[in-house]
Amino acid sequence: MSTREPLPSVASFRAAHLIERLARVSRAGSYEAGLNPAQWEALRYLSRANRFSKTPAALAEFFSTSRGTVSQTLIALEEKGFVEKTRSESDGRSVALTLTDAGRRMLANDAERDLARDIDAGGEASAIAAALEAALRHALARRGGRAFGVCKTCRHFRKGERTHHCTLLDEPLSPQDAEAICAEMEAA
């Protein structure tokens, strides 16, 4: 006889349903802007990632999807003029991704901003964010995914007075890098 985990609580099922419903409501208008949800998420990621994490491989890992799927998303965004691909300065074999001015302008009309305002209206944004971060960590651990995080929360981050340092990559970090998503992040 195998041991089975107990069923989730009614409240957790309700929360999961609400998360899915909010995501659908938020995505409903995204097609009107000419982008699909994956394209919006790629723009969001690139706007929040540090310079080491703006690669197709990091984007695929962040999405928990294949590089082929991400490649199609990036091709569409490049054709629409929202993303540019360039050869990496440090490694001529890899590709670095950057948002264009048009991509940054598109993000100014992102439905995620409206969703964030709706969450703020409930008055519990910090508690909601903490609970969702914990749920995401559990989901990623169960699936063997990596928990990307903000650079300054990494065990390799060293705070400096004007610039910071990544001991893993042995690279200086700007204050902007410290606040950005990093694909190499390991919790401190």
Same domain (yes/no): 128, 48? yes
Phi and psi of 75, rounded to 5°? -60, -45
Radius of gyration of the chain (CA): 18
Token readout for 169 is: 């990559």
Over residues 108-129, the pLDDT tens digits come to 988 888 889 999 998 899 999 8
User: Which candidate, 140, 139, 112, 119, places its Cα nearest to that of 37?
Assistant: 112
Same domain (yes/no): 35, 47? yes
Same domain (yes/no): 21, 56? yes
Cα separation, 124 vs 137, in Å, equals 20
Contact call for residues 182 and 53 (beta carbons, < 8 A):
yes
Q: How many domains does the chain have?
A: 2
Same domain (yes/no): 30, 86? yes
Asked, for residue 18, whether it belongs to a domain, the answer is yes
| Residue span of the structural domain in which 153 resides | 148-188
Cα separation, 155 vs 182, in Å, equals 12
Same domain (yes/no): 112, 60? yes
The identity of residue 72, as a single letter, is Q
Over residues 20-70, the pLDDT tens digits come to 998 888 888 777 778 998 999 999 999 999 988 999 999 999 988 888 899
Asked, for residue 3, whether it belongs to a domain, the answer is no
Mean pLDDT for the stretch of residues 132-143: 86
Same domain (yes/no): 16, 30? yes
Same domain (yes/no): 128, 176? no
What share of the chain in percent tops pLDDT 90? 47
Q: In angstroms, what CA-CA distances link 71 with 30, 89, 140, 183?
A: 20, 20, 22, 18
Token readout for 145 is: 């995914």
pLDDT band at 1 (very low <50, low <70, confident <90, very high): very low
Q: What is the pTM of this model?
A: 0.83
Asked, for residue 125, whether it belongs to a domain, the answer is yes
Q: What is the CATH number of the domain that holds 20?
A: 1.10.10.10
Same domain (yes/no): 76, 163? no
Asked, for residue 2, whether it belongs to a domain, the answer is no
Same domain (yes/no): 94, 48? yes
- How many other C-beta atoms lie within 10 A of the C-beta of residue 29? 11
List of residues 6+ apart from 170 with CB closer than 8 A: none
Asked, for residue 6, whether it belongs to a domain, the answer is no
Asked, for residue 177, whether it belongs to a domain, the answer is yes
- How many other C-beta atoms lie within 10 A of the C-beta of residue 182? 27
- How many other C-beta atoms lie within 10 A of the C-beta of residue 39? 21
Q: What is the CATH number of the domain that holds 165?
A: 2.20.70
Same domain (yes/no): 77, 49? yes
Cα separation, 89 vs 36, in Å, equals 31
Same domain (yes/no): 105, 182? no
